[in-house]
Structures are given as structure tokens and as C-alpha cells.
Amino acid sequence: MRYNRPIRLCFVLLFVTSVFSDKLSWSGDAADRCFCKLQGEVDDCSCKVESLDSLNNNKIYPILTSLLSRNYFRYFKVNLKKSCPFWSDDSRCALRDCHVNVCQKDEVPIKIPDVDTHSEKHERNKYLKELNEGKQGFEERCAEERELGALDATISEEKKAEFQTWKEYDETLPLFCDIDDEHSNDMEYVDLLLNPERYTGYKGPSPRRIWRSIYEENCFKPEKNYGYGPDYGKDASIESSMCLEKRVFFRLISGLHTSINIHLCDKYLFPAKNGFGQSYWDHNLQEFQQRFDPALTHDQGPQRLKNLYFTYLIELRALAKAAPYLKQKGFYTGDNQEDEDVQKGVNDLLDIIRKFPDHFDESQLFKGNTKEMQQLKSEFVLHFRNISRIMDCVGCDKCKLWGKLQVLGMGTALKILFSGDSMGPDSIVKSQDKDFQLTRTEIVALFNAFGRLSSSIHAIETFRKLAS
């Protein structure tokens, strides 16, 4: 017993040293290294990071945050009951009694024939090899995942009645694609404000398998097989080994991945201070460092952050191109004043976006009508479609909700970019274009997905200040 006090003192010293070490790791050059690439031109674009920071943080983010709290954008119709098409569902910790909308293959914006091609069978066989992957540690995380990953499915009876009028209104509109699942009994509205994207405790083999399947099986890779390891994703490898179209695809997915990681760091659940009181949500600078410091990410972290700006530019360009269509679309909820306010907010946002002088030029993609380029575009679509289906394999309902929404939003942006008779920074789509329509679900996903990217860039500034 006489050794208890020294032992306790030793543990206290170790804890203090550990905390102090974490703080030191963010002093001086360490913080600068993390943000070292967040300056100058965004890769494969002429726009500068500094211009996007100013545009987003000073103009877009405030308007978008207000707009997304409106009824039209806060309720997302989704199906969380669809089973994973690639491996057995291992989401034993997730609550299965709540509903969220799944991005069906028919809803992928860039359409391809609805057939089970040889390529799709080949992809499925690859996933099946990972069936029954190691499950150690699941039991220890179940309680945390159940609490943090469960959806709040609270919807008032009054609001449910309003949804029926929304449905009747939407059914009078022409649709660009046939969304078979819209009338499924498993489709339910979810209040996004009650289910914010943040840390859920979802970690371990399941999410690693999700991202490994996305990067290794459905993301274009450099000719050299770097694998899903410390060397995969280094920008130098991409630049030297991949064409523009493949780089665009990779950076889109990397930017989405980065945005999700930033939200987990920005809204992180800390245990109660000193062991008393309640746990609390706050910014986790050390978690941010673990994910983006070059010294801890094999030099990949800063490029991952920069890829976020690339993905932001793609969706910014899509909103600019669809501005004439969205201004004439109408945002129906049945409340005339609410609808007018939403339309005004949308118009204000789109005016700011359209005035931005340096948009991404999608006409640089898939140039020419060669057989090789047609094949590449087909692969581009197939890979994206598979990623949307992989979202059905996410083992945490809240994570699946936001994964589905953001992938559908990105797919809607791609649909916009490659619609219409012309492409390029000055091309637009209009409501008069009979071959172009967006469903309510696509519009809600488009704006909320862009909102996620916007909030990520805003959060980067917060972490930059915390690290200084």
C-alpha cells in the first residue's frame, strides 16, 4: 500500500506530459505545416484558396446557414432500411428502428443502363472477399454507437400532414429520372437539424472497410498500385500518373472525405471535465492534427485539406450553372410567406455565387468523342454509382444519413454540370430545358451537401486560429 501514492503521482505526471506534448506538437512549424498548402491556386483550377476563403466565410456561409434551417431544406426524405449490396451488414451497434433516405441506383444523377453488367458483377465479387472481416472491439463500442449514431426521428403530426401536400405538389412536376423508391414504405422524412453531422463513435473495421472499398475499388488510382496505405493519395503520384478526369474524380472523393473528417473534429464529444458533470461538444484540435498534420499522415494531410476546396469549387459551379433553373423552380412548403422567404434567400445566394469570377470549367473534361473518352466517362459514372451504393453499407444510421445526402448532392452537381447543350463557365440550365429537371430530394441534397463543404471551410479557419 505504501507504493500507491508514488504510483498515482507517476500516472499524473505521465498524463500532464502527454497533454503538454500534444500542445507542443501544435506550436511553431507544426501548425504551419498542416495548413501549408492552403494558399495559392486550387489544383486543376485557376481559382485561389484565399478567394474561396473570403467568398465562403464572409458571404456564402452566413446566408447558407440561415437558408438550411428553413423547412424546405431541413427535411430530407430517405430510406435507411436498404441492405448493403456488397457484404453482410455488420452494423450490430446501430439502431435499426429509424428511417433515412438511401441514394438508390436509379437516383444517381448521371444515368447509365439499369443492368447488372459484367463490370458490376466483378466489383461485387471483390467486395464479397471481405465478408466477415474481423469484429474484435465491436462489443466495447456498441453502447457509444447506439447513443451517438441513433437518429432522432421526431416529426410532429402537423408536419407529417404538410408532407402529404408537398408530395401532391411534387407529383405534378415533370421528373428528369424515374425514382422508383420515392413511394416505398421505407421512405421517411428526417429532420436534419435534429440529426447534425458530428462525432458518433463509429470507428474500427466497419468505416475502414467503407473507405477502403471506395478508394481501392471505386476511385481511379495512379498506374502504380499504391494501395490504401500511407503512400496512397500523394498528389505527386496523381499528377504524374492520372489524366484530368481521373484526378477530378479522386479529388472530389478526397474532398468529401476531408469534409466529413473536419465535421467530426469540429463537433467532437468530450468526457465530463474532472470526471464530474456532463460530456460536452467542442472543437478537437488534437483530432484535427491526427487527420491532417503531414508528420502524422505521411505528408497527405495538407493535400487532403486542399482537395476540400476543389470539391467546393465543383459544387459552387453547379449551383451557378443551375441558377436560372433554381430561380424559377419555386420552393413549395404550403406556407406562402415561408416559400417567399426561401426563394428570396436562394436568389440572394445564387446572385453571390454567379458574380464570383473564377468558376471551374467543366468543358475541359471528356473532350472529344473518341471511343476511349466514351469508355472513360462510362467508368466515371459506374464508379460514382457504386460509391452511392456503398453508402448503404455504413453501419451507423446517422453517418449513413449524411453520407447518402452528400453523395446524392455531389451526384446532383455532376448531373447539372453535364446537362444542357453547352458546358463551360458561362453555360447555364433553365427551366425551359425539357430534358432537365431536379426532384425535391435532389435539390435538398444539393444545397445541404454544399452547406457541409461550406461549414468545413469555415471550420478550417477556426482550427487555424486554435493552432496559432
- The average confidence (pLDDT) of the chain is 77
Provide φ and ψ at 299, rounded to 5°: 70, 10
Query: According to the annotation, is 257 in a ligand binding site?
Result: yes
What is the percent of the chain with per-residue pLDDT over 90, rounded to a whole number? Answer: 38
Q: What is the pLDDT of residue 250?
A: 93
Q: Domain segments of the chain: what residues? A: 30-106+174-467
Residue 349: pLDDT over 60: yes
Over residues 367-395, the mean pLDDT reads 87
Number of Cβ atoms within 10 Å of the Cβ of 298: 13
What is the percent of the chain with per-residue pLDDT over 70, rounded to a whole number? Answer: 68
Q: What is the pLDDT of residue 147?
A: 61
Residue 191: pLDDT over 50: yes
Q: For residues 181 and 204, give the distance between their C-alpha atoms in angstroms, rounded to a whole number.
A: 31
State pLDDT tens for residues 138-162.
Answer: 455 565 555 666 666 666 777 666 6
Write out 208-253 in H/E/C secondary structure.
Answer: HHHHHHHHHHHCCCCCCCCCCCCCCCCHHHHHHHCCHHHHHHHHHH
Instruction: Please name the residue that has the C-alpha cell 453501419.
Output: 395
Query: According to the annotation, is 254 in a ligand binding site?
Result: yes
Strand partners, 269: 281
Query: According to the annotation, is 383 in a ligand binding site?
Result: no
Q: For residues 468 and 454, give the distance between their C-alpha atoms in angstroms, rounded to a whole number.
A: 22
Q: What is the pLDDT of residue 430?
A: 81
Alpha carbon of residue 102 to chain centroid: 14
State pLDDT tens for residues 272-316.
Answer: 887 777 889 999 999 999 999 999 998 899 999 999 999 999 999
How many angstroms separate the Cα of 395 from the Cα of each of 26, 124, 138, 204, 206? Answer: 33, 18, 11, 11, 7
Residue 424: pLDDT over 80: no
To 5 degrees, how large is the angle CA 188–CA 60–CA 331? 40
Residue 234: pLDDT over 80: no
User: Which of 415, 414, 405 has the alpha carbon at shortest distance from 68?
Assistant: 405
How many angstroms separate the Cα of 32 from the Cα of each of 25, 26, 38, 124, 147? Answer: 11, 9, 10, 43, 36
Residue 387: pLDDT over 70: yes
| Strand pairing category for 268-270 and 280-282 | antiparallel
Burial annotation 390-416 (CB, 10 A radius, 16+ → b, else e)? bbbbbbbbbbbbbbbbbbbbbbbbbbb
Q: For residues 108 and 382, give the distance between their C-alpha atoms in angstroms, rounded to a whole number.
A: 10
Q: What is the pLDDT of residue 118?
A: 46
- Whether 36 is catalytic: no
Alpha carbon of residue 278 to chain centroid: 30
236 or 263: which carries more pLDDT confidence?
A: 263
Query: According to the annotation, is 198 in a ligand binding site?
Result: yes
Per-residue confidence at 109, pLDDT binned at 50, 70, 90? Answer: very low
Q: Answer for the pair 103, 404: CB distance below 8 angstroms, yes or no.
A: yes
Instruction: Please name the residue that has the C-alpha cell 467486395.
Output: 127
- Whether 45 is catalytic: no
Of 192-196, 217-221, 237-241, where does mean pLDDT reach its minimum?
237-241
Q: Answer for the pair 394, 214: CB distance below 8 angstroms, yes or no.
A: no
State pLDDT tens for residues 65-96.
Answer: 999 999 999 999 888 888 888 887 555 454 33
